[in-house]
Amino acid sequence: MSWNLKKKAQALLAEEQGTFHKEWGGKVAIALVYPNTYAVGMSNLGFQTIYWHLNQLPDVVCERVFLPDLADVEEMRRTETAPFSLESQRPLSDFHMVGFSVTYEGDYINTLRLLHLAGIPLRAAERRPGDPLVLMGGVCAFSNPEPMAPFMDFVAVGEGEELVRELIALYRDTAGDRDAFLERVGAVAGVYVPGQYDIAYHPDGTLSAVLPRAGAPAVVVKRRLPDVNRFETISLVKTPQAEYGHMALLEVGKGCGRGCRFCLEGQVYRPVRHRSVATLGETVARLAQDPANRRIGLVGACVSDYPWIGDLLKVVEANGLELSISSLRADSLTDDLVAALARGGHRTLTVAPEAGTERLRRAVRKVISDEQLYTACDLVRQHGIPNLKTYFMIGQPTETAEDVEAIPDLARRMLERLRVLDSAGRPFGRLTLSISSFVPKPWTPFQWAPFDGADALSAKLDVIKRGVRKLSNVRVLHENPREAALQALLARGDRRVGDFLEIAARLEGDWRRALREWDGDPGFYTTRPRDVGERLPWDHFDVGVKKAGLVREWERAQAESATAVTS
């Protein structure tokens, strides 16, 4: 093992609070892997929560593994060091189970790179009794895990706080026998064993059937927590190296009731479940006892929609904590909420109009008016918050050239409101436009829509950047549209996309070259429109979203657009 890499791991551990260090003797050893950097992984509350729950089991030792930095990969090769856990610096191959927490489709390639570096066979069919069981959890595991299906022994579909206990009990019951475990684990609610299904295709390449073998369920039902008040979701391991390491993070609930037609999270975390003020208050009071916790970050799909947000603000302030919030909607902002954020030292308030025109916002069901955005600008100024960040999305269904041109025009009008000096005479700082590209996601009404294409998206970005060029105090941030095209491929792909992922892992993550070497057609999965009657790669899952409802919303979006054009 590289001494330099070992020292780096020890330095990270030395800065942490709340780390678990357990003896291995006689325990089930689980490597919990976040296939991205340490800073990103340690800001993920789901990852931290499962780490905590596993380590509460006396017969389990759970340790964390992260994607090494680029320079560290070179050091690994030079010293023949495999990816290892942070806590004990043991290689991945030493663990009984290797569980990947996957939040972003782009991390699929990182997942396979880590397995390759560890010397663990990539494909589940090639693993032998001495190899670890490889599993996948996280939101990608219950949106569409099919591109990763060839590489996973099993997939945890849904929320894992209760599920992990059942998996460990079964592993003990089968005495760690790989074949016996896999034969039985598919019967556990919320578990998908890809090797127990055969896939058939039509001559045109579309999916015709997913055929379960004997004993496997025809439909895998997502696991969900019936009572979120029984489970805290907080940042349990504190580190200054995490993206939000300076604050204690607390999830207020799961799901969002808004139903934006492009949003995966608003669909797959249904039903919406809010933790009660009383339960959250107990957590806040306990966090406040630690003098290191000066600021608390409230996390959720849309925190400003929390039904009792005013009461919760009083609880936070009564405990002497400053406030930060992960997600806000312009139409649910209040004077008290913005004032609390200002008192907590917020330098930037963030809202997401998503589109430049009210017409397109209605079409995507993000019903926020221009006037509500202006009110958000006024609240920012009144409370002395110097910066406003806005999220827009280009390439959405029914979008026109006028919708794209409206984004810089809306920025100009918002900037006029923001430039008005506040009561203390402080000038405004900066308006940021963060532009993302629409990617059709499973389980949304827009899952049948085509991806716009990287070239078309690049042209739209140019329109926006030219439109704000003369506006001072405005900054445009955006992702690479070609990376959005990769995300579209992985989000709606089937098992055949696994061949591309394997090539990309072999090429050390060079996915552009992998696309050139892959004999598949990316456009088949990305820019091709899909008929509502086509079987989709994720149709053998039940995540609590009715397909008939998605079809209805998809047809309404198109009908509303047609009405707007002819009126």
Written as one string, the DSSP assignment of 343-381 is HTT--EEEEEEESSSHHHHHHTT----HHHHHHHHHHHH
pLDDT confidence band for 560 (50 / 70 / 90): confident
pLDDT value for 567: 47
Which among 452, 344, 350, 347 has a CA at the least distance from the CA of 398? 452
Instruction: Check pLDDT > 90 for residue 488.
Output: yes
Structure tokens at 349: 């308030």
Domain range annotation of the chain? 3-221
Q: Which residues contact residue 411 at a Cβ distance below 8 angstroms, ignoring those fewer than 6 apart? A: 390, 431, 433, 467, 468, 471, 474
Alpha helix (H) ranges present in 196-326?
Answer: 265-268, 277-288, 309-318
pLDDT value for 562: 66
Instruction: Check pLDDT > 70 for residue 368.
Output: yes
Structure tokens at 415: 């900037």
Mean pLDDT, range 524-542, rounded to an integer: 97
Mean pLDDT, range 430-442, rounded to an integer: 97
pLDDT confidence band for 121 (50 / 70 / 90): very high
pLDDT value for 328: 84
DSSP-derived pairing of the beta strands 430-437 and 248-251: unpaired
Mean pLDDT, range 539-546, rounded to an integer: 95
Mean pLDDT, range 527-551, rounded to an integer: 96
pLDDT confidence band for 564 (50 / 70 / 90): low
Give the number of C-alpha atoms closer than 13 A to the C-alpha of residue 290, restricted to the C-beta side: 14
* Residue pLDDT, tens place only, 63-78: 999 999 888 988 998 8
Mean pLDDT of the chain: 94
> With 0-12 CB in 10 A as exposed, 13-18 as middle and 19+ as buried, what is 528?
middle
Task: Look up residue 451 and give its DSSP letter.
Answer: P
Instruction: Check pLDDT > 90 for residue 292.
Output: no
Lowest mean pLDDT among 18-22, 233-237, 459-463, 510-514: 233-237
SS3 510: coil
* Residue pLDDT, tens place only, 127-179: 999 999 999 999 999 999 999 999 999 999 999 999 999 999 999 999 999 99
Instruction: Check pLDDT > 60 for residue 428.
Output: yes
Mean pLDDT, range 532-553, rounded to an integer: 96
pLDDT value for 406: 98
SS3 141: helix
Dihedral angle computed from the Cα positions of residues 11, 16, 19 and 25, in that order, rounded to the nearest 10 degrees: 10
Residue that has been written with the tokens 């629409």 in this structure: 438
- The CATH architecture one would assign to domain 3-221 is 3-Layer(aba) Sandwich (3.40)
Distances (CA, A) of 110 to 76, 196, 513: 15, 25, 16
Lowest mean pLDDT among 2-16, 102-116, 243-257: 243-257
pLDDT value for 563: 64
Structure tokens at 402: 């006028």
Residue that has been written with the tokens 């492009």 in this structure: 262
Q: What angle do CA 416, 384, 422 make, to 5 degrees?
A: 50
pLDDT value for 98: 98
* Residue pLDDT, tens place only, 248-286: 999 999 988 888 999 998 899 888 899 999 999 999 999
Mean pLDDT, range 3-8, rounded to an integer: 93
Task: Look up residue 62 and give its DSSP letter.
Answer: E
pLDDT value for 538: 98
Dihedral angle computed from the Cα positions of residues 104, 105, 110 and 116, in that order, rounded to the nearest 10 degrees: 140
pLDDT confidence band for 103 (50 / 70 / 90): very high
In 132-196, where do the E strands start and end?
133-137, 154-156, 191-192
pLDDT value for 257: 84
* Residue pLDDT, tens place only, 377-424: 999 999 999 999 999 999 999 999 999 999 999 999 999 999 988 777
DSSP-derived pairing of the beta strands 474-478 and 430-437: parallel
Mean pLDDT, range 47-70, rounded to an integer: 95
Structure tokens at 456: 């078309």
In 492-556, where do the E strands start and end?
541-542
